[in-house]
Amino acid sequence: MTLFHALLLGSIQGITEFLPISSSGHLVLIQHLLHLNEDSLSFDIFLHFGTLIAVIVALRRELFTLLCHPTDRFVHLLVISTIPTVLIGLLFKKTFELIFHSGATLGIEFVITGTLLLYVETLTQRNQPLLAREMNYRSAFWIGMAQGAAILPALSRSGLTLCTALGMGIERSDAVRYSFLLSVPIILGATIFELKDAPSTLSTINPTLFVGMSASALTGYIAIRFLLKVIERVSLRPFGYYTLVLGGLIIADQLIFHTLF
């Protein structure tokens, strides 16, 4: 892998991890497009660490408050949302890895993401939307289930959690922040889990790892700040149309053209 590839993949990871368009789906697509068939666990670890840095820096005040008040109800909600995600990941890890590397379901997953983003914008907003901390534990559980489903490559983690939260009547900017905060234990857990499977990672450090991590951290931070700033004024429809069209093109390639798949 060249430094250019590391910069490109790191930037794509950072931008698409937090925008509701699926980071893993785009990484699979780009790897097929550039014929990058190598399975670099070390590189994946550094990309995840970059996005972890991004969300910690962007939401440092909220995270510090949560760490200072570990018994707060909001922390309980985050824990409840995290549990089903972890269980789904542990129970179906092998199956999802096979699906991930093949890219066989990539097109339909992008279509599902796009459809959900468009659908949630058709829902009537409550006159008094809920704050995230005001939702019940059942709602928190279903948001966690949505995040767990996003282990499939082109189902957007941020997209599915955001759609579920909005569907539960949570205020838009608060739903985005909850989705971002919920990513912290998941990205941290995934990084530790991958690192456990690659004990020699630190002995194989090369410049491409740091380039990818730096690009992931910088673009991830920009994506977070962008979405937090525009979510009140901008509809999710552009993201929905984008993923819907992208999914349709991938399905056409898988069934007819066979250029990438």
CB neighbour class for 205 (10 Å; exposed up to 12, middle 13-18, buried from 19)? exposed
Tell which wins on pLDDT, 232 or 75. 75
Which residues, 6 or more positions from 179, have their beta carbon under 8 angstroms from its beta carbon? 157, 158, 161, 162, 165
Summarize the confidence of residues 59-71 as an average pLDDT. Answer: 95
Q: What is the pLDDT confidence band of residue 168, given thresholds at 50, 70 and 90?
A: very high
Q: Is residue 201's pLDDT more than 80?
A: no
CA distances from 100 to 41, 57, 123 (A): 14, 29, 32
Residue 204: per-residue pLDDT: 57
Is 170 strand, coil or helix? Answer: strand
* Count of all residues that appear for the chain in the document: 261
- Confidence label for 16 from pLDDT (cuts 50, 70 and 90): very high
Residue at token pair 């994946």: 44
> Which two tokens mark 200?
């020699």
pLDDT category at 202 given cuts 50, 70, 90 is low
Contact 179, 162 (CB under 8 A): yes
Sign of CA dihedral 111, 116, 121, 122: positive
The pLDDT tens digits of the residues spanning 132-167 come to 999 999 999 999 999 999 988 899 999 999 999 999
